């Protein structure tokens, strides 16, 4: 059993619990013990795309963790919580509410390479301990800024080209306006981000940039690497797999996690060498990362091409 189950993870379920659910369903489906891993943690309060790898696809989990991701998230203005999300005590408050134009004006500051300070309630290790464990004990946690990249950031559901920079919004023009007089109690944004980006920190910093405070009340991942919501299944549908539904309805092939890498058709001789982990020389092709496949279109390995040679990065036993 090798491939991917793309779960539309519901709020309240942790990523480790989701992996456990897939293992249980595989057992119920009569598949026996299957190696399972996930391609990027989602907090219990977040929902959306959670790639879960089966068998040989687990060799791609590290690559999936490094992939960029897209999120929809709602920033609630006026209160900041300890965890920067809907749980936890309120630690700061403000009566200031921004307009949509004010929010749009600061978004370019958070687009491109930026530095951000992760939340104290995060899994980052400090002197060998998780930051959230220290924070829960009430200890002062000093988080260091880290470099991340925000590829794009915009008001969700709106074409950024359609929003003039100096537009003046009236209450009936502002989607989600709850504050009256064009002032927003909350706003939903869409961000395409690099690995290591904390959306909760992004929300905090956007709120501060418009002169107030804020926290995340909704977080939904709509894409992780090559996988999006169109490929995702619900927990109910996952359970149907355990009750005998066809595997083809739920499991994507291993190569579905490689669609952003060029495929390389290997000769029988080259395929044999690559399967044995040997370097194959005399190849006329551009340098870079490829995934090699044999004459039956089966993935053999992730391959690095360099100066006319092919070297195995990660082999697949299919």
From the list 240, 199, 263, the residue with the least C-alpha distance to 25 is 240
CA–CA separation, 305 and 289 (whole Å): 6
- From its phi and psi, is residue 253 left (phi > 0), alpha (psi between -120 and 50) or beta? beta
Cα separation of 190 and 19, whole Å?
A: 27
How many residues does the structure list for the chain? 318
Residue in 234, 269, 301, 199 with CA at minimum distance from that of residue 21: 234
Q: Confirm whether 43 is a catalytic residue.
A: yes
Q: Are 255 and 291 in contact (CB under 8 A)?
A: yes
Query: Exactly one of 8, 43, 72, 294 is catalytic; which is it?
Result: 43
Task: In whole angstroms, give the CA distance from residue 5 to residue 38.
Answer: 9
Residue 160's closest CA among 151, 149, 148?
Answer: 151
Instruction: Please name which of 117, 74, 36, 55 lies closest in space to residue 299, comparing C-alpha atoms.
Output: 55
Whole-angstrom distance, CA of residue 105 vs CA of residue 103: 5
Q: Which residues contact 155 (CB under 8 A, 6 or more apart)?
A: 100, 103, 104, 163, 175, 187, 188, 189, 190
Residues involved in catalysis: 43
């Amino acid at each position: 059993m090798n491939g991917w189950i793309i779960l539309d993870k519901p709020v309240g379920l942790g990523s480790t619990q989701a992996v456990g659910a897939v293992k249980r369903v595989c057992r119920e489906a009569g598949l026996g013990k299957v190696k399972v891993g996930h391609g990027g943690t989602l907090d219990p309060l977040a929902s959306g795309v959670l790639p879960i790898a089966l068998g040989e696809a687990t060799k791609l989990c590290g690559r999936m963790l490094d992939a960029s991701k897209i999120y929809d998230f709602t920033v609630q203005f006026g209160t900041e919580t300890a965890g920067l999300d809907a749980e936890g005590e309120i630690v700061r408050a403000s009566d200031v509410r921004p307009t949509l134009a004010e929010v749009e004006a600061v978004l370019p500051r958070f687009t491109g390479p930026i530095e951000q300070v992760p939340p104290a309630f995060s899994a980052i290790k400090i002197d060998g301990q998780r930051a959230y464990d220290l924070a829960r004990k009430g200890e002062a946690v000093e988080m260091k800024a880290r470099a991340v990249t925000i590829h794009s950031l915009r008001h969700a559901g709106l074409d950024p080209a359609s929003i003039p920079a100096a537009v003046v919004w009236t209450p009936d023009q502002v989607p989600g306006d709850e504050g009256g007089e064009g002032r927003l109690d909350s706003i939903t944004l869409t961000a395409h981000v690099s690995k290591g980006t904390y959306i909760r920190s992004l929300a905090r910093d956007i709120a501060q940039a418009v002169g107030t405070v804020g926290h995340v009340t909704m977080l939904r991942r709509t894409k992780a690497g090559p996988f999006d919501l169109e490929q995702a299944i619900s927990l109910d549908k996952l359970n149907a797999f355990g009750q005998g539904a066809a595997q083809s309805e739920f499991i994507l092939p291993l190569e579905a996690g490689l669609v952003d890498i060029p495929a390389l058709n290997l000769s029988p001789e080259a395929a044999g060498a690559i399967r044995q982990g040997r370097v194959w020389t005399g190849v006329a092709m551009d340098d870079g990362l490829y995934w090699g496949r044999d004459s039956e279109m089966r993935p053999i390995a992730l391959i690095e091409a360099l100066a006319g040679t092919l070297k195995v990065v990660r082999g697949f036993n299919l």
